[in-house]
Amino acid sequence: MTQDNNKDFGRLFEAGLDKLTTTLRTGQRVQGVVSMIGKSSVFVDLGTPADGYLDRKDLLDKNGELTVKVGDSIDAFCMGWTDDGIKLALRMSGDAVDSSVEDAYNAGMPVEGKVTAERKGGFTVQVANSEAFCPFSQIDARGVKKEPAEYIGERFSFAITEYSEGGRNIVLSRRRILEKEAAKKREELKEHLAVGDIVDGVVTKIMPFGAFVDIGGVEGMVHVSEMGWNRGLKPEEVVSEGQAVQVKVLDIDWGDAAGDKRERLAFSIKQIEQHPWERVAEDESYAVGSKRRGKVTRLADFGAFIELEPGIEGLAHISQLGAEGHVKHPSEVVKEGDMVDVTLLDVDPERRRIGLCIGEPKVKGEKAAELTHEEAAEVAVVNAGQRLEGEVESVKPFGVFIKLPNGQTGLLHISQTGLAGDGTLQVRALYKAYPLRSKVQVIIREIAGNRISLTLPETMEQELGRLTVTDHKDSQGASFGSLDDVFGGLKL
């Protein structure tokens, strides 16, 4: 290229840069596509004569992994021009804030701040040389519970929700930033998440019937029946709010485009592991004649149920409980919670039944007692989360007792029926809706010892629907209402 051509090129480049500086201003939000990734910078094609670039370290996750790749779209903010191109940033930080905080507010640009102290209603946040306020409700994502002291001294990105009085009144929200990031992750999950995937998540809320888990922008529910192989588990015995867990995706329903139907995701914790019964046939410790130690979990008129390990129960029939004499009821020999030594008399992996005797068999080669039809039905224990057809056994002012297919009885509390009215009118409606011996579809809501709480399929659907409604906040973090505690006062 000749010297004259070099001069012409220089004039054209400067003219293009001059034109660029008139269309992009500091603090302006821009969108581009990652064009190249270097050792210290990530370059972005903005569709302008000059490329933008970000510091690579600003795009690393907590594990030091880069969060973008070539071809990805990226939103950023213009910070000015250098010899390398247009300097971009995901947020404003450092001294740039003092001179541009109002521009950041007008452009919707995040700022970096340090939480310095707790104050009435929230936190004081230092943004460069300015003090700002972040309400308690806006310091973290919905459902996250931490002590205020855990935030002091930490640096975060914040959205400016209010800027007035020449910068003397600055209100911030970290929650908005987190929700925006979650929305982006949600769209990524919609593209790639599949039934059967095992993913990492965090427990956000525990309810009587299960726990909600956030897998990064999307919440799903682990029903209590999917928390472990143990019978009669309570959610709080398995997980706690804020706990990191792995879950298996059982079902995905993203709802409809119009938003009339909310998304539903179902997860399992227990299905990450093999079901205990799947290895019983090959496990020598379950061979007939083997000795094991177990826990008495419940008593029936015809015998004692004994848990050998989580998910596996056996039955010691009443005819094989006493070494001598006739036992009228299992409570004469054992009580719930006892640890006992047992001998396996019969193992049927297909029907998932194990016949036991406590201690040594009374005679050599003793077989498990034959069960009557009614006894066999009760051995088929119900589990939380099961949907069954029951028969109305009796109606009380507080609810309906329903006999289940296995012979046990559960309570459908009046609060779970959705009947309108109160007092006498509500009780009358209950008697009318559930005639004696009528059939009704129910879901096992919770099992606590011998007490079985029931709900209706439509009630469960409504409960889950209400729990997917997120809080709505105004710019200062004031709540317009939440249904998070919709079951807070419910007594079953």
212: nearest Cα among 243, 190, 191: 243
User: Is residue 12 domain-resident?
Assistant: no
Q: Does one domain contain both 370 and 303?
A: yes
User: Is residue 183 domain-resident?
Assistant: no
User: Is residue 7 domain-resident?
Assistant: no
Does residue 151 carry a pLDDT above 90? Answer: yes
Contact 302, 317 (CB under 8 A): yes
Does residue 117 carry a pLDDT above 90? Answer: yes
User: Is residue 146 domain-resident?
Assistant: yes
Average pLDDT over residues 135-158: 88
Q: Which residue has the higher pLDDT, 479 or 89?
A: 89
pLDDT one-digit tens code per residue, 421-458: 566 777 788 888 899 889 998 988 877 666 888 988 88
Average pLDDT over residues 211-225: 86
Distance CA 32, CA 71 (A): 9
Does residue 5 carry a pLDDT above 60? Answer: no
Q: Does one domain contain both 308 and 295?
A: yes
pTM exceeds 0.95, yes or no? no
- Residue position matching structure tokens 């004081």: 124
Average pLDDT over residues 359-378: 73
- Look up the domain containing 123 and give its range: 119-178
- Residue position matching structure tokens 């015995």: 237
Task: Out of 78-82, 390-394, 405-409, give the one with best mean pLDDT.
Answer: 390-394
User: Is residue 13 domain-resident?
Assistant: no
pLDDT on residue 51: 85
Q: Does one domain contain both 247 and 285?
A: no
- Residue position matching structure tokens 């000795």: 291
Distance CA 336, CA 450 (A): 11
Whole-number average pLDDT of the chain: 78
Q: Which of 89-98, 130-139, 412-421 has the lowest mean pLDDT?
A: 89-98
Does residue 418 carry a pLDDT above 90? Answer: no
Q: Which residue has the higher pLDDT, 21 or 449?
A: 449
Instruction: Please give the tally of structural domains in the chain.
Output: 5
Q: Does one domain contain both 294 and 342?
A: yes
Q: Does one domain contain both 205 and 170?
A: no
**Confidence band of 249 (pLDDT split at 50, 70, 90):** very high
pLDDT on residue 378: 64
pLDDT on residue 412: 92
Domain boundary (354, 379, 404) is at 379
User: Is residue 168 domain-resident?
Assistant: yes
Average pLDDT over residues 191-209: 88
Q: Which H helix or E strand runs over 191? A: helix 174-192
Q: What is the DSSP secondary structure assignment for residue 275, as one 8-state letter? A: P
Does residue 228 carry a pLDDT above 50? Answer: yes
Q: Which H helix or E strand runs over 316? A: strand 312-317
pLDDT on residue 487: 31
Q: Does one domain contain both 268 and 318?
A: no
User: Is residue 102 domain-resident?
Assistant: no
Q: Does one domain contain both 200 and 260?
A: yes
Domain boundary (332, 354, 379) is at 379
The CATH number covering residue 147 comes to: 2.40.50
pLDDT on residue 25: 62
pLDDT on residue 175: 92
Q: Does one domain contain both 313 and 372?
A: yes
The CATH number covering residue 314 comes to: 2.40.50.140
Q: Which residue has the higher pLDDT, 106 or 394?
A: 394
Q: Does one domain contain both 342 and 391?
A: no
Average pLDDT over residues 1-19: 45
- Residue position matching structure tokens 């029946």: 225
pLDDT on residue 95: 47
Q: What is the DSSP secondary structure assignment for residue 368, as one 8-state letter? A: P
Q: Which of 34-38, 188-192, 261-265, 271-275 has the lowest mean pLDDT?
A: 261-265
pLDDT on residue 7: 47
Neighbouring CB atoms inside 10 A of 183's CB total 11
Domain boundary (379, 404, 438) is at 379
User: Is residue 105 domain-resident?
Assistant: no
Distance CA 248, CA 58 (A): 32
Q: Does one domain contain both 375 and 287?
A: yes
Q: Does one domain contain both 232 and 304?
A: no
437: left (phi over 0), alpha (psi -120 to 50) or beta: left
Does residue 470 carry a pLDDT above 70? Answer: no
Q: Does one domain contain both 461 and 401?
A: yes
Q: Which of 288-292, 311-315, 398-402 has the lowest mean pLDDT?
A: 311-315
**Confidence band of 478 (pLDDT split at 50, 70, 90):** very low
